[in-house]
Structure 1
Amino acid sequence: MRAYDPSKYEPAAVTVDIVALTIREGRLQVLLVERGEEPYLGRLALPGGFVRSHRDNKGRVRGETLDAAAARELAEETGLVPGHAALTRVHLEQLATYGAPDRDPRMRVFSVAYLAFAADMPDPVSGGDAAGAAWVPVERVKRLAFDHAEILADGLERVRAKLEYTPLATSFVGVEFTISELRGVYAAVWGVEPHAGNFHRKVLSTPGFVVDVGEVTERGGSKGGRRARLYRAGDATLLHPALLRPAAEATS
């Protein structure tokens, strides 16, 4: 027998929202969906949705974990069903929790935001209550539904900072890549072009960052026909020394 009255407790819900990023045509792009229902009908938003839960026959709450809900939402919007090989290279991590009382006009909703990064993400498909989905260059993003502009800004700063001290940039390139392709990731994410020579030297002198696979490619080679060496991600989890961002003033 229950010793409490559930109706006396304020209702609340939990959602997950995904800041999914990839690089297309040399530009950092974010996955956005067009909302197909109220609130904010027709407004662009980050993909996401409510965490699924239910009660079993004994009244116990059962359902998805937060990580499972985030993976499901990402799969629905990218068209990559769970188990798809491309999903194995997606880097997914929690960003932050957002719980302003008025962030959702329907009820009190707490959102756990996630970051997802990957190379060569496919064209998106609209799933759930979305009317459409598209990859949008981050500099072109305007008004977003809910507090998603804040979530996106926080996600972008997290990514830009993590490129300094972790090998996260290797999540935006293929399994094998050239140093110039890796430098392109930093340029797209930071919005600043690193000095080619200094970048090449720093990457190769940072223990565990990249590993030479012993092969060369014409992809990314010089105009004179010189071919570029291929690398893969190393086993480092932190970069020491860090690759610091060029001063923002340099591009102003």
Structure 2
Amino acid sequence: MSYQFLITDNRKPTTENRQQTTDNRQPTTDNRQRTTDNGQQKTDNRKQTTENRQQKTDNRKQTTENRQQKTDNRQPTTDNRQPTTDNRQQKTDNRKQTTENRQQKTDNRKQTTENRQQKTDNRQPTTDNPQQKTDNRKQSTDNSQPTNKMQDSRSYKDLEIYKLGLELFFIIHPLTLQLPKYEMYELGSQLRRSADSVVSNIVEGYGRRRYKADFIRFLVFSHASCLETINHIQKIAHLYQDIEPKF
């Protein structure tokens, strides 16, 4: 019994030591767990870094492809610049040609001016004698006096051409009333209006006689209406021979 008790007593320190060893091992286990967690974290970080690097590599590839695409796109632009350069050269040549043409025109104008000056100098001896110039003007006025009846007329009624046109209208109007009824508003109406236009344009032109261009224009209208009247008369004379002698 005493021996058994002694063994039991000797075992107690050993149990305590084991407990102490176990307690000491517990922090080590915790440290290992932390180390394992840190290693896992580092592994995850390395994976993330690897993925980031792969992403950067892909981005660089994409950037390289974009640059290559831009380079390819610039090539047609470069090719297009050559025709543009040619066009600019053509424009430059055209401008030079235009400048030369303008210079030529300027020289021609100078030459024309010199010729006019020469003509003026040649005419100068003719105008040195004012009395001779006055006599020439008087002679010209006297020569034009018989043909200036239109300006001396106080009214359009005094114009010989007006009297002839009015007489023509007075003859034409009653004759058109002898045409068949279906021609009263066809050839008859056209003939009356054209004969009236001969006289009316003379009167209107005379009213604008202070403007020479207008006066001449209305006289041209009157002449055209006279030709139209003759044309209508010829048609009626051919179609209606029973009244031909009256026309």
TM-score by length of 2: 0.20
Larger proportion of strand: 1
Larger proportion of helix: 2
Based on CA coordinates, which of the two structures has the bigger radius of gyration? 2
